[in-house]
Structure 1
């Protein structure tokens, strides 16, 4: 569903996102949801998202990334609640934060129940997502309005920097036979001892 309503102000989004976030954290299944997502973290690795974090380590980055992913889902839900427009709600996110939202969406039953209880709509459509986050842009301003601080640059990495890091990673990956940042490889497992 899409309409042509203009984007809400960052203050409007911030207020709505903060309310959604508080309700989400107060929900009876929040702790179980958090635990499920963090337990599932061995399946998180992604060549184009988490790998762009300097010295990425699931053991120390998992919990902070969960928080950032929840912030992102709340921001997107807030935009949707104010516009009714699924496309508009796909605000720009950085690759690592988008990746953790996928881990959250992999817990559909709990996420759906929580969203229904708090009256929020979780928005995520992979073919509509925008991995074009820029510090100081609309998403960043909404985040600050909602949560009272700047997004941590460790995870909220600008699009140009993500692209630069992906190019560097691709060079390193190719040295060991991984191509296109993990989309293919040249390993012949039958021939490997």
Structure 2
């Protein structure tokens, strides 16, 4: 039997998360952090994260996704600050938003300096993360109390995300990619000759 997770009131978390986000954005290295995070986009190759966004376009979607990823990390940081429990702070996040948090965490020096200066801890651990966000869950209530309704383009409900992943998986398999891109059947035995 799993233990019940008790979290602070969403309104409390929302108030603190909004303060955390504001402090991050006001930090002297925030512009460098943003630039580094968005440049990382050329390495985003996950088949099952941002591609579930309808008509996804990385050039157009990366900046709004950065905002959503920051909000998610601020919410998690607020929960951690109030509970001191990393597992409890791993609140449900929508799949594309979670993927953006990975791009942010891939800037460890900048992120660590910023969070140290503002006195918060960023929480993210792959084996503890919850990418099963649902409308009207704890995260939704805290988010809405802090910033209003989350944008439906990025905050895709878990059941809808699973439906979209199923569609993507069929298309990937038709192109020779299996297990959501974690393997493929393409044989590179024949070298490609250059024109020079």
- Relative to the length of structure 1, the TM-score reads 0.95
Unaligned runs of 5+ in 1: none
User: Which residue of 2 is the match for residue 157 of structure 1?
Assistant: 156
User: 1:132–1:159: 8 Å Cα contact kept in structure 2?
Assistant: yes
- Which piece of structure 1 moves more, 183-192 or 57-66? 183-192
1:135 deviates by 1.1
State the SS of the aligned residue for 1:103: helix
User: Which residue of 1 is the match for residue 30 of structure 2?
Assistant: 30
1:20-169 to structure 2, matched below 5 A, reads 20-147=20-147, 149-169=148-168
1:173 deviates by 0.7
User: 2:5–2:88: 8 Å Cα contact kept in structure 1?
Assistant: no
1:113, 1:161 → 2: CA distance? Answer: 37
1:111, 1:87 → 2: CA distance? Answer: 21
State the SS of the aligned residue for 1:191: coil
Name which one, 1 or 2, has greater alpha-carbon Rg.
2
Give the helix-richer structure, 1 or 2: 1
State the SS of the aligned residue for 2:180: helix
2:58, 2:143 → 1: CA distance? Answer: 24
User: 2:132–2:158: 8 Å Cα contact kept in structure 1?
Assistant: yes
User: 2:37–2:104: 8 Å Cα contact kept in structure 1?
Assistant: yes
Deviations 1:144-172 (A, max 9, x none): 1112x111010000110111111111111
2:6, 2:171 → 1: CA distance? Answer: 43
User: 1:80–1:86: 8 Å Cα contact kept in structure 2?
Assistant: yes
- Relative to the length of structure 2, the TM-score reads 0.94
Deviations 1:120-161 (A, max 9, x none): 1000010000111001111011111112x1110100001101
2:112, 2:17 → 1: CA distance? Answer: 17
1:45 deviates by 3.0
Q: How many residues get paired?
A: 190
User: 1:45–1:51: 8 Å Cα contact kept in structure 2?
Assistant: no
1:191 deviates by 2.8
User: Which residue of 2 is the match for residue 6 of structure 1?
Assistant: 6
User: 1:13–1:75: 8 Å Cα contact kept in structure 2?
Assistant: yes
1:6 deviates by 2.8
2:32, 2:104 → 1: CA distance? Answer: 12
State the SS of the aligned residue for 2:133: coil
Unaligned runs of 5+ in 2: none
2:184, 2:8 → 1: CA distance? Answer: 44
